[in-house]
Structure 1
Amino acid sequence: MAADTASSGDIQAQQRSPPERQDPPPNKLHYLRPSYWDERFQGEQHYEWFKNYSHFRHLVLKHIKPTDRVLEVGAGSSRLSEDMYRDGIRHITCTDLSTVAVERMRERFVDLPGMVAAEADMLNLPFDDESFDVVIEKGAMDVLFVDCDDQWSPEPEVAKRVRGMLAEAHRVLNPTGVFITIAFGQPHFRRPFFEAEGLTWSMKYETFGDNFHYFFYTLYKGTKDAGESFSLESMAVPLSLGMEHENMDSEDYLLQSGLSDDDDDDDEERACQS
Protein backbone atom coordinates (compact mmCIF):
# COMPACT_ATOMS: atom_id res chain seq x y z
CA MET A 1 0.00 0.00 0.00
CA ALA A 2 2.87 2.38 0.76
CA ALA A 3 4.27 1.87 -2.72
CA ASP A 4 0.87 2.63 -4.26
CA THR A 5 0.56 5.82 -2.22
CA ALA A 6 3.96 7.03 -3.31
CA SER A 7 3.19 6.21 -6.92
CA SER A 8 -0.07 8.17 -6.78
CA GLY A 9 1.81 11.16 -5.41
CA ASP A 10 4.32 10.97 -8.23
CA ILE A 11 1.53 10.84 -10.80
CA GLN A 12 -0.24 13.81 -9.24
CA ALA A 13 2.99 15.79 -9.43
CA GLN A 14 3.32 14.90 -13.09
CA GLN A 15 -0.26 15.99 -13.70
CA ARG A 16 0.44 19.41 -12.18
CA SER A 17 3.52 19.92 -14.37
CA PRO A 18 2.65 21.54 -17.71
CA PRO A 19 3.55 19.55 -20.83
CA GLU A 20 6.61 20.66 -22.75
CA ARG A 21 5.92 22.93 -25.72
CA GLN A 22 7.35 21.54 -28.93
CA ASP A 23 8.73 23.26 -31.99
CA PRO A 24 6.79 21.68 -34.87
CA PRO A 25 8.81 19.80 -37.49
CA PRO A 26 9.43 21.70 -40.75
CA ASN A 27 7.02 19.40 -42.57
CA LYS A 28 4.04 17.36 -41.35
CA LEU A 29 5.31 14.29 -43.23
CA HIS A 30 8.04 13.95 -40.59
CA TYR A 31 5.31 12.56 -38.31
CA LEU A 32 5.24 9.41 -40.45
CA ARG A 33 8.93 8.65 -39.89
CA PRO A 34 9.84 6.41 -36.91
CA SER A 35 13.27 8.05 -36.83
CA TYR A 36 11.63 11.42 -36.16
CA TRP A 37 9.90 10.06 -33.05
CA ASP A 38 13.02 8.30 -31.74
CA GLU A 39 14.98 11.54 -32.04
CA ARG A 40 12.19 13.57 -30.50
CA PHE A 41 11.71 11.27 -27.51
CA GLN A 42 15.41 11.40 -26.70
CA GLY A 43 14.76 14.83 -25.24
CA GLU A 44 11.01 15.05 -24.74
CA GLN A 45 9.84 13.96 -21.31
CA HIS A 46 6.15 14.83 -21.58
CA TYR A 47 3.80 16.20 -24.21
CA GLU A 48 0.02 15.90 -24.56
CA TRP A 49 -1.75 15.89 -27.89
CA PHE A 50 -5.37 17.08 -27.85
CA LYS A 51 -5.43 18.32 -24.24
CA ASN A 52 -4.55 16.53 -21.03
CA TYR A 53 -6.51 14.05 -18.98
CA SER A 54 -8.32 16.63 -16.86
CA HIS A 55 -10.34 17.75 -19.90
CA PHE A 56 -11.89 14.32 -20.61
CA ARG A 57 -11.43 12.38 -17.35
CA HIS A 58 -15.22 12.22 -16.85
CA LEU A 59 -15.57 10.48 -20.22
CA VAL A 60 -12.81 7.95 -19.51
CA LEU A 61 -14.37 6.96 -16.19
CA LYS A 62 -17.75 6.63 -17.89
CA HIS A 63 -16.44 3.94 -20.27
CA ILE A 64 -13.53 2.21 -18.47
CA LYS A 65 -13.91 0.11 -15.32
CA PRO A 66 -11.10 -0.44 -12.80
CA THR A 67 -11.01 -4.15 -13.65
CA ASP A 68 -10.70 -3.65 -17.41
CA ARG A 69 -7.64 -4.82 -19.30
CA VAL A 70 -6.61 -1.68 -21.19
CA LEU A 71 -4.32 -1.27 -24.19
CA GLU A 72 -3.06 2.19 -25.14
CA VAL A 73 -1.54 2.44 -28.63
CA GLY A 74 0.74 5.24 -29.78
CA ALA A 75 1.37 6.36 -26.21
CA GLY A 76 4.49 8.42 -26.95
CA SER A 77 5.37 10.72 -24.05
CA SER A 78 1.77 11.19 -22.89
CA ARG A 79 0.81 10.59 -19.27
CA LEU A 80 -2.69 9.39 -20.17
CA SER A 81 -2.21 5.87 -18.83
CA GLU A 82 -0.55 7.04 -15.63
CA ASP A 83 -3.46 9.40 -15.03
CA MET A 84 -5.91 6.53 -15.55
CA TYR A 85 -3.82 4.44 -13.15
CA ARG A 86 -4.22 7.15 -10.52
CA ASP A 87 -7.98 6.76 -10.97
CA GLY A 88 -7.80 3.06 -10.12
CA ILE A 89 -7.48 1.56 -13.61
CA ARG A 90 -4.53 -0.71 -12.91
CA HIS A 91 -4.22 -3.23 -15.78
CA ILE A 92 -2.75 -1.15 -18.60
CA THR A 93 -0.41 -2.03 -21.45
CA CYS A 94 1.13 0.98 -23.21
CA THR A 95 2.66 0.62 -26.66
CA ASP A 96 4.55 2.77 -29.11
CA LEU A 97 6.52 2.20 -32.29
CA SER A 98 9.46 4.18 -30.88
CA THR A 99 12.04 2.18 -28.93
CA VAL A 100 13.03 5.34 -27.08
CA ALA A 101 9.45 6.07 -25.99
CA VAL A 102 9.05 2.53 -24.66
CA GLU A 103 12.32 2.76 -22.71
CA ARG A 104 11.12 6.01 -21.11
CA MET A 105 7.78 4.41 -20.19
CA ARG A 106 9.47 1.41 -18.59
CA GLU A 107 11.52 3.78 -16.42
CA ARG A 108 8.37 5.57 -15.29
CA PHE A 109 6.39 2.37 -14.66
CA VAL A 110 8.92 0.72 -12.30
CA ASP A 111 6.82 1.47 -9.20
CA LEU A 112 3.43 1.06 -10.89
CA PRO A 113 2.41 -2.63 -10.65
CA GLY A 114 0.11 -3.63 -13.46
CA MET A 115 1.54 -1.10 -15.93
CA VAL A 116 3.39 -2.65 -18.88
CA ALA A 117 5.24 -0.94 -21.75
CA ALA A 118 5.80 -2.75 -25.04
CA GLU A 119 7.22 -1.79 -28.41
CA ALA A 120 4.51 -2.40 -31.00
CA ASP A 121 3.24 -1.18 -34.35
CA MET A 122 -0.47 -0.32 -34.02
CA LEU A 123 -0.96 -1.67 -37.55
CA ASN A 124 0.36 -5.09 -36.50
CA LEU A 125 -0.18 -5.62 -32.78
CA PRO A 126 1.70 -8.51 -31.13
CA PHE A 127 -1.24 -9.60 -28.97
CA ASP A 128 -3.67 -12.50 -29.15
CA ASP A 129 -7.27 -12.09 -30.30
CA GLU A 130 -9.67 -10.80 -27.63
CA SER A 131 -6.83 -9.93 -25.22
CA PHE A 132 -8.24 -6.60 -23.98
CA ASP A 133 -11.45 -5.02 -22.75
CA VAL A 134 -10.49 -1.52 -23.89
CA VAL A 135 -8.22 -0.14 -26.59
CA ILE A 136 -7.56 3.60 -26.33
CA GLU A 137 -5.57 6.08 -28.35
CA LYS A 138 -5.13 9.86 -28.32
CA GLY A 139 -3.89 11.52 -31.49
CA ALA A 140 -2.26 8.43 -32.99
CA MET A 141 -4.96 7.91 -35.62
CA ASP A 142 -4.84 11.56 -36.64
CA VAL A 143 -1.16 11.13 -37.53
CA LEU A 144 -2.18 8.45 -40.04
CA PHE A 145 -4.12 11.14 -41.93
CA VAL A 146 -1.28 13.66 -41.96
CA ASP A 147 -0.53 13.26 -45.69
CA CYS A 148 -4.21 13.17 -46.70
CA ASP A 149 -5.05 15.87 -49.25
CA ASP A 150 -8.79 15.22 -49.36
CA GLN A 151 -10.59 14.07 -46.22
CA TRP A 152 -13.70 13.23 -48.26
CA SER A 153 -11.70 10.90 -50.52
CA PRO A 154 -8.49 9.78 -48.74
CA GLU A 155 -5.63 8.45 -50.81
CA PRO A 156 -5.35 4.62 -50.94
CA GLU A 157 -2.23 4.55 -48.73
CA VAL A 158 -3.93 6.69 -46.09
CA ALA A 159 -7.06 4.53 -46.13
CA LYS A 160 -4.97 1.35 -45.92
CA ARG A 161 -3.16 2.59 -42.80
CA VAL A 162 -6.34 3.66 -41.03
CA ARG A 163 -8.19 0.44 -41.86
CA GLY A 164 -5.20 -1.58 -40.66
CA MET A 165 -5.20 0.20 -37.30
CA LEU A 166 -8.94 -0.28 -36.83
CA ALA A 167 -8.79 -3.95 -37.82
CA GLU A 168 -6.08 -4.60 -35.23
CA ALA A 169 -7.94 -2.74 -32.47
CA HIS A 170 -11.08 -4.72 -33.32
CA ARG A 171 -9.17 -8.02 -33.33
CA VAL A 172 -7.59 -7.66 -29.89
CA LEU A 173 -10.82 -6.53 -28.19
CA ASN A 174 -13.07 -9.01 -26.42
CA PRO A 175 -16.53 -9.52 -28.01
CA THR A 176 -18.06 -6.64 -26.04
CA GLY A 177 -14.94 -4.46 -25.69
CA VAL A 178 -14.68 -0.78 -26.54
CA PHE A 179 -12.29 1.14 -28.76
CA ILE A 180 -11.84 4.73 -27.55
CA THR A 181 -10.25 7.26 -29.86
CA ILE A 182 -9.60 10.85 -28.80
CA ALA A 183 -9.25 12.87 -31.95
CA PHE A 184 -9.51 16.06 -33.92
CA GLY A 185 -10.99 14.21 -36.91
CA GLN A 186 -14.67 14.98 -37.36
CA PRO A 187 -17.51 12.40 -37.40
CA HIS A 188 -18.46 12.80 -41.04
CA PHE A 189 -14.88 11.94 -42.03
CA ARG A 190 -14.33 9.14 -39.52
CA ARG A 191 -17.63 7.27 -39.64
CA PRO A 192 -17.02 5.57 -43.04
CA PHE A 193 -13.83 4.09 -41.54
CA PHE A 194 -15.31 3.25 -38.15
CA GLU A 195 -18.35 1.46 -39.57
CA ALA A 196 -16.68 -0.23 -42.53
CA GLU A 197 -17.42 -3.81 -43.50
CA GLY A 198 -15.90 -6.35 -41.11
CA LEU A 199 -16.09 -4.12 -38.02
CA THR A 200 -18.93 -4.96 -35.63
CA TRP A 201 -18.98 -1.72 -33.64
CA SER A 202 -21.04 1.42 -34.19
CA MET A 203 -19.84 4.97 -33.67
CA LYS A 204 -20.86 7.23 -30.83
CA TYR A 205 -19.07 10.36 -29.76
CA GLU A 206 -18.96 13.18 -27.25
CA THR A 207 -16.97 16.40 -27.34
CA PHE A 208 -14.74 18.20 -24.87
CA GLY A 209 -12.90 21.49 -24.82
CA ASP A 210 -13.85 25.11 -24.35
CA ASN A 211 -13.86 27.33 -27.43
CA PHE A 212 -12.42 24.53 -29.56
CA HIS A 213 -13.84 21.02 -29.40
CA TYR A 214 -12.11 17.67 -29.71
CA PHE A 215 -13.94 14.37 -30.21
CA PHE A 216 -14.12 11.43 -27.80
CA TYR A 217 -15.28 8.45 -29.86
CA THR A 218 -16.52 5.19 -28.31
CA LEU A 219 -16.97 2.10 -30.47
CA TYR A 220 -18.43 -0.89 -28.64
CA LYS A 221 -17.75 -4.19 -30.38
CA GLY A 222 -20.82 -6.23 -31.30
CA THR A 223 -23.28 -3.30 -31.37
CA LYS A 224 -23.47 -2.63 -35.10
CA ASP A 225 -26.89 -2.96 -36.68
CA ALA A 226 -26.54 -4.68 -40.03
CA GLY A 227 -29.28 -2.47 -41.44
CA GLU A 228 -28.06 0.89 -40.15
CA SER A 229 -27.11 3.63 -42.60
CA PHE A 230 -25.88 7.18 -42.32
CA SER A 231 -25.79 10.41 -44.30
CA LEU A 232 -22.49 12.23 -44.53
CA GLU A 233 -24.32 15.53 -44.97
CA SER A 234 -26.38 15.09 -41.81
CA MET A 235 -23.21 14.36 -39.80
CA ALA A 236 -21.36 17.50 -40.92
CA VAL A 237 -19.65 19.55 -38.24
CA PRO A 238 -18.18 22.95 -39.16
CA LEU A 239 -14.39 22.96 -39.29
CA SER A 240 -13.16 25.38 -36.64
CA LEU A 241 -9.64 26.24 -37.62
CA GLY A 242 -9.23 29.82 -38.82
CA MET A 243 -9.43 32.26 -35.91
CA GLU A 244 -9.93 29.45 -33.40
CA HIS A 245 -6.37 28.18 -33.71
CA GLU A 246 -5.19 30.19 -30.71
CA ASN A 247 -7.24 27.79 -28.57
CA MET A 248 -5.27 24.78 -29.83
CA ASP A 249 -1.79 23.62 -28.94
CA SER A 250 0.70 24.56 -31.64
CA GLU A 251 1.27 21.00 -32.84
CA ASP A 252 -2.45 20.20 -32.86
CA TYR A 253 -2.93 23.11 -35.24
CA LEU A 254 -0.04 22.03 -37.45
CA LEU A 255 -1.32 18.48 -37.65
CA GLN A 256 -4.70 19.67 -38.95
CA SER A 257 -3.50 22.36 -41.38
CA GLY A 258 -1.17 22.63 -44.34
CA LEU A 259 0.47 25.84 -43.19
CA SER A 260 3.95 24.41 -42.63
CA ASP A 261 4.11 22.13 -45.65
CA ASP A 262 6.66 22.95 -48.31
CA ASP A 263 5.61 23.01 -51.94
CA ASP A 264 8.35 20.63 -53.00
CA ASP A 265 7.52 17.59 -50.86
CA ASP A 266 8.19 14.81 -53.36
CA ASP A 267 11.59 13.80 -51.96
CA GLU A 268 10.29 13.96 -48.39
CA GLU A 269 7.24 11.87 -49.22
CA ARG A 270 9.37 9.19 -50.84
CA ALA A 271 11.58 9.14 -47.75
CA CYS A 272 8.55 8.69 -45.49
CA GLN A 273 7.27 5.76 -47.50
CA SER A 274 10.62 3.97 -47.58
Structure 2
Amino acid sequence: MELPRHNSEYKNQSYWDTRFASEESYDWLAKYSDVADLITKYVPKDSRLLIVGCGNSTFSIDLYDAGYTNIVNLDFSSVVIERMSAKYSESRRLMKWAVGDMLKLPEFFESNSFDVVIDKAAMDALMVEGGDTWSPAEHLLASAHEMCSGIKKVLTPTGLFLQISFGQPHFRKRFLLGEYPQGDESSAYGWTYKYHNIEIGLGYFFYVMQKK
Protein backbone atom coordinates (compact mmCIF):
# COMPACT_ATOMS: atom_id res chain seq x y z
CA MET A 1 0.00 0.00 0.00
CA GLU A 2 1.41 3.36 -1.05
CA LEU A 3 0.93 5.88 1.75
CA PRO A 4 0.78 9.61 0.93
CA ARG A 5 3.37 12.04 2.22
CA HIS A 6 0.57 14.11 3.74
CA ASN A 7 -3.01 13.18 4.62
CA SER A 8 -4.34 15.93 2.34
CA GLU A 9 -3.25 13.82 -0.66
CA TYR A 10 -6.15 11.46 0.05
CA LYS A 11 -8.33 14.09 -1.65
CA ASN A 12 -6.28 14.04 -4.86
CA GLN A 13 -7.30 11.96 -7.85
CA SER A 14 -3.66 11.66 -8.96
CA TYR A 15 -2.74 9.91 -5.70
CA TRP A 16 -5.52 7.35 -6.14
CA ASP A 17 -4.76 6.76 -9.83
CA THR A 18 -1.15 5.96 -8.96
CA ARG A 19 -2.10 3.74 -6.04
CA PHE A 20 -4.86 1.88 -7.85
CA ALA A 21 -2.58 1.12 -10.80
CA SER A 22 -0.72 -1.45 -8.72
CA GLU A 23 -2.87 -2.21 -5.67
CA GLU A 24 -5.20 -5.17 -6.05
CA SER A 25 -7.59 -4.60 -3.16
CA TYR A 26 -7.94 -2.70 0.09
CA ASP A 27 -10.86 -2.37 2.49
CA TRP A 28 -11.07 0.78 4.60
CA LEU A 29 -12.48 0.59 8.13
CA ALA A 30 -14.78 -2.40 7.82
CA LYS A 31 -15.58 -5.32 5.58
CA TYR A 32 -19.05 -6.40 4.56
CA SER A 33 -19.01 -9.19 7.14
CA ASP A 34 -18.52 -6.59 9.91
CA VAL A 35 -21.76 -4.79 9.04
CA ALA A 36 -23.78 -7.55 7.36
CA ASP A 37 -26.40 -7.61 10.12
CA LEU A 38 -26.93 -3.84 9.83
CA ILE A 39 -27.14 -4.01 6.04
CA THR A 40 -29.74 -6.78 6.33
CA LYS A 41 -31.70 -4.70 8.84
CA TYR A 42 -31.99 -1.64 6.62
CA VAL A 43 -31.56 -2.73 3.00
CA PRO A 44 -34.04 -4.97 1.12
CA LYS A 45 -32.39 -7.35 -1.35
CA ASP A 46 -34.14 -5.79 -4.37
CA SER A 47 -32.84 -2.26 -3.62
CA ARG A 48 -31.09 -0.20 -6.28
CA LEU A 49 -27.72 0.59 -4.68
CA LEU A 50 -25.07 3.20 -5.43
CA ILE A 51 -21.63 2.80 -3.81
CA VAL A 52 -19.77 6.13 -3.88
CA GLY A 53 -15.97 6.18 -3.77
CA CYS A 54 -15.95 2.41 -4.29
CA GLY A 55 -12.18 2.14 -4.85
CA ASN A 56 -10.84 -1.41 -5.04
CA SER A 57 -12.71 -2.63 -1.98
CA THR A 58 -14.44 -6.00 -2.09
CA PHE A 59 -17.40 -4.51 -0.19
CA SER A 60 -19.72 -4.37 -3.19
CA ILE A 61 -18.55 -7.79 -4.36
CA ASP A 62 -19.57 -9.25 -1.01
CA LEU A 63 -22.87 -7.36 -1.18
CA TYR A 64 -23.52 -8.87 -4.60
CA ASP A 65 -22.71 -12.37 -3.38
CA ALA A 66 -25.10 -11.83 -0.46
CA GLY A 67 -27.95 -11.18 -2.92
CA TYR A 68 -27.77 -7.42 -3.52
CA THR A 69 -27.19 -7.60 -7.27
CA ASN A 70 -28.53 -4.20 -8.42
CA ILE A 71 -25.38 -2.17 -7.68
CA VAL A 72 -23.64 0.75 -9.37
CA ASN A 73 -20.05 1.36 -8.22
CA LEU A 74 -18.79 4.92 -8.66
CA ASP A 75 -15.26 6.32 -8.33
CA PHE A 76 -13.48 9.36 -9.76
CA SER A 77 -10.49 7.22 -10.69
CA SER A 78 -10.89 5.75 -14.17
CA VAL A 79 -7.90 3.52 -13.35
CA VAL A 80 -9.70 1.65 -10.58
CA ILE A 81 -13.03 1.48 -12.41
CA GLU A 82 -11.35 -0.05 -15.46
CA ARG A 83 -9.45 -2.58 -13.31
CA MET A 84 -12.45 -3.54 -11.18
CA SER A 85 -14.73 -3.83 -14.20
CA ALA A 86 -12.21 -6.06 -15.98
CA LYS A 87 -11.85 -8.19 -12.88
CA TYR A 88 -15.51 -8.68 -11.95
CA SER A 89 -17.77 -7.95 -14.95
CA GLU A 90 -17.86 -11.57 -16.09
CA SER A 91 -18.48 -13.11 -12.67
CA ARG A 92 -20.93 -10.43 -11.45
CA ARG A 93 -22.69 -9.53 -14.67
CA LEU A 94 -25.53 -7.47 -13.18
CA MET A 95 -23.21 -5.05 -11.36
CA LYS A 96 -22.18 -1.79 -13.03
CA TRP A 97 -19.03 0.33 -12.82
CA ALA A 98 -18.96 4.09 -13.51
CA VAL A 99 -16.42 6.90 -13.44
CA GLY A 100 -17.77 10.00 -11.70
CA ASP A 101 -17.37 12.57 -8.96
CA MET A 102 -19.43 11.87 -5.82
CA LEU A 103 -19.69 15.64 -5.30
CA LYS A 104 -21.56 15.99 -8.60
CA LEU A 105 -23.94 13.04 -8.57
CA PRO A 106 -26.83 14.78 -10.42
CA GLU A 107 -24.51 15.17 -13.42
CA PHE A 108 -24.24 11.38 -13.72
CA PHE A 109 -27.60 10.06 -12.49
CA GLU A 110 -31.21 11.11 -12.76
CA SER A 111 -33.32 12.00 -9.73
CA ASN A 112 -34.85 9.05 -7.87
CA SER A 113 -32.34 6.62 -9.41
CA PHE A 114 -31.43 4.76 -6.21
CA ASP A 115 -33.10 3.33 -3.13
CA VAL A 116 -29.85 3.28 -1.15
CA VAL A 117 -26.55 5.18 -1.37
CA ILE A 118 -23.63 3.73 0.59
CA ASP A 119 -20.46 5.62 1.51
CA LYS A 120 -17.67 3.64 3.16
CA ALA A 121 -14.95 6.13 4.15
CA ALA A 122 -15.51 8.30 1.06
CA MET A 123 -16.54 11.43 2.97
CA ASP A 124 -13.72 10.66 5.39
CA ALA A 125 -11.27 11.21 2.54
CA LEU A 126 -12.63 14.75 2.14
CA MET A 127 -11.99 15.55 5.80
CA VAL A 128 -8.32 14.56 6.08
CA GLU A 129 -6.81 18.03 6.31
CA GLY A 130 -6.96 18.15 10.08
CA GLY A 131 -7.56 21.56 11.59
CA ASP A 132 -10.16 22.41 14.18
CA THR A 133 -12.67 19.56 14.33
CA TRP A 134 -14.99 21.68 16.49
CA SER A 135 -15.01 24.47 13.90
CA PRO A 136 -14.37 22.91 10.46
CA ALA A 137 -13.22 25.01 7.54
CA GLU A 138 -15.95 26.42 5.31
CA HIS A 139 -14.70 24.57 2.22
CA LEU A 140 -15.04 21.25 4.07
CA LEU A 141 -18.60 22.09 5.05
CA ALA A 142 -19.24 23.10 1.43
CA SER A 143 -17.90 19.77 0.12
CA ALA A 144 -20.04 17.81 2.55
CA HIS A 145 -23.08 19.85 1.54
CA GLU A 146 -22.39 19.26 -2.15
CA MET A 147 -22.11 15.53 -1.51
CA CYS A 148 -25.25 15.29 0.65
CA SER A 149 -27.28 17.48 -1.71
CA GLY A 150 -26.37 15.24 -4.62
CA ILE A 151 -27.23 12.11 -2.67
CA LYS A 152 -30.57 13.62 -1.72
CA LYS A 153 -31.38 14.22 -5.40
CA VAL A 154 -30.48 10.77 -6.70
CA LEU A 155 -32.31 8.96 -3.89
CA THR A 156 -35.97 8.06 -4.12
CA PRO A 157 -38.37 10.05 -1.90
CA THR A 158 -38.06 7.34 0.78
CA GLY A 159 -34.42 6.52 0.04
CA LEU A 160 -31.66 5.68 2.48
CA PHE A 161 -28.12 7.05 2.84
CA LEU A 162 -25.74 4.79 4.78
CA GLN A 163 -22.28 5.91 5.81
CA ILE A 164 -19.51 3.85 7.40
CA SER A 165 -16.99 6.22 8.96
CA PHE A 166 -14.31 6.81 11.55
CA GLY A 167 -15.83 10.28 12.10
CA GLN A 168 -17.25 10.53 15.60
CA PRO A 169 -20.96 11.44 15.84
CA HIS A 170 -20.52 14.78 17.64
CA PHE A 171 -18.31 15.93 14.73
CA ARG A 172 -19.88 14.09 11.77
CA LYS A 173 -23.47 15.01 12.58
CA ARG A 174 -22.89 18.59 11.43
CA PHE A 175 -21.80 17.38 8.00
CA LEU A 176 -24.67 14.93 7.61
CA LEU A 177 -27.49 17.22 8.75
CA GLY A 178 -26.37 20.52 7.23
CA GLU A 179 -27.49 23.92 8.44
CA TYR A 180 -30.44 24.46 10.77
CA PRO A 181 -31.17 20.86 11.80
CA GLN A 182 -34.15 20.18 14.00
CA GLY A 183 -32.83 17.68 16.51
CA ASP A 184 -31.94 14.58 14.52
CA GLU A 185 -33.78 15.73 11.39
CA SER A 186 -32.25 17.64 8.51
CA SER A 187 -34.18 20.53 7.01
CA ALA A 188 -31.48 20.78 4.33
CA TYR A 189 -31.72 17.20 3.06
CA GLY A 190 -35.08 15.98 4.33
CA TRP A 191 -33.75 12.97 6.18
CA THR A 192 -33.54 11.70 9.74
CA TYR A 193 -30.26 10.72 11.35
CA LYS A 194 -29.08 7.99 13.71
CA TYR A 195 -26.05 5.76 14.09
CA HIS A 196 -24.77 2.44 15.35
CA ASN A 197 -21.35 1.64 16.76
CA ILE A 198 -19.16 -0.80 14.85
CA GLU A 199 -17.13 -2.54 17.53
CA ILE A 200 -14.01 -3.46 15.57
CA GLY A 201 -10.53 -1.99 15.33
CA LEU A 202 -10.44 1.53 16.72
CA GLY A 203 -14.24 1.64 16.74
CA TYR A 204 -16.19 3.00 13.79
CA PHE A 205 -19.71 4.24 13.10
CA PHE A 206 -22.60 3.19 10.87
CA TYR A 207 -24.71 6.26 10.09
CA VAL A 208 -28.28 5.91 8.86
CA MET A 209 -29.99 8.80 7.07
CA GLN A 210 -33.59 8.02 6.08
CA LYS A 211 -35.50 10.37 3.79
CA LYS A 212 -38.92 11.16 5.17
Change (3 A) 1:210 1:124: closer
Please give the alpha-carbon distance, in whole angstroms, between the structure 2 residues aligned to 1:73 and 1:85: 16
Q: Deviations over 1:17-65 (max 9, x none)?
A: xxxxx24211111111111100100001100000211111111111111
Letter in 1 for 2:84: M
Larger Cα Rg: Structure 1 or Structure 2?
A: 1
Alignment counterpart, residue 102 of structure 2, candidates 103, 111, 122: 122
Answer yes or no: is 1:179 the counterpart of 2:161: yes
Summarize the alignment of residues 156-235 of structure 1 with structure 2, pairs less than 5 Å apart: 156-196=138-178, 197-210=187-200, 212-222=202-212
Deviation at 1:174, TM superposition (A): 0.3
**4+ residue segments displaced more than 4 Å:** none
Aligned partner of residue 124 in structure 1, secondary structure: helix
Please give the alpha-carbon distance, in whole angstroms, between the structure 2 residues aligned to 1:95 and 1:112: 16
When structure 1 is superposed on structure 2, of 202-211 and 72-81 the one drifting more is 202-211
> What is the aligned partner in structure 1 of residue 49 from structure 2?
70
Instruction: Tell me how large the CA RMSD over aligned residues is.
Output: 1.2
Change (3 A) 1:96 1:211: closer
Please give the alpha-carbon distance, in whole angstroms, between the structure 1 residues aligned to 2:47 and 2:4: 37
TM-score by length of 1: 0.71
Aligned residues: percent identity?
Answer: 39
Summarize the alignment of residues 37-186 of structure 1 with structure 2, pairs less than 5 Å apart: 37-107=16-86, 108-125=88-105, 126-186=108-168
Please give the alpha-carbon distance, in whole angstroms, between the structure 2 residues aligned to 1:38 and 1:186: 29
Please give the alpha-carbon distance, in whole angstroms, between the structure 1 residues aligned to 2:145 and 2:188: 10
Please give the alpha-carbon distance, in whole angstroms, between the structure 2 residues aligned to 1:23 and 1:98: 16
Please give the alpha-carbon distance, in whole angstroms, between the structure 2 residues aligned to 1:79 and 1:210: 18
Q: Is the 8 A contact 1:48 1:78 kept in 2?
A: yes
In the alignment, structure 2 segments of 5+ residues that lack a partner are 179-186
TM-score by length of 2: 0.91
Change (3 A) 1:155 1:209: same
Deviation at 1:211, TM superposition (A): 5.7
Please give the alpha-carbon distance, in whole angstroms, between the structure 1 residues aligned to 2:98 and 2:66: 22
In the alignment, structure 1 segments of 5+ residues that lack a partner are 1-21, 223-274
Change (3 A) 1:160 1:213: same
When structure 1 is superposed on structure 2, of 93-102 and 204-213 the one drifting more is 204-213
Q: Size of the alignment, in residue pairs?
A: 201
Aligned partner of residue 178 in structure 1, secondary structure: strand
Q: Is the 8 A contact 1:148 1:155 kept in 2?
A: no
Q: Is the 8 A contact 1:177 1:220 kept in 2?
A: yes
Q: Is the 8 A contact 1:72 1:92 kept in 2?
A: yes
Aligned partner of residue 43 in structure 1, secondary structure: coil
Q: Is the 8 A contact 1:147 1:158 kept in 2?
A: no
Please give the alpha-carbon distance, in whole angstroms, between the structure 2 residues aligned to 1:214 and 1:135: 18
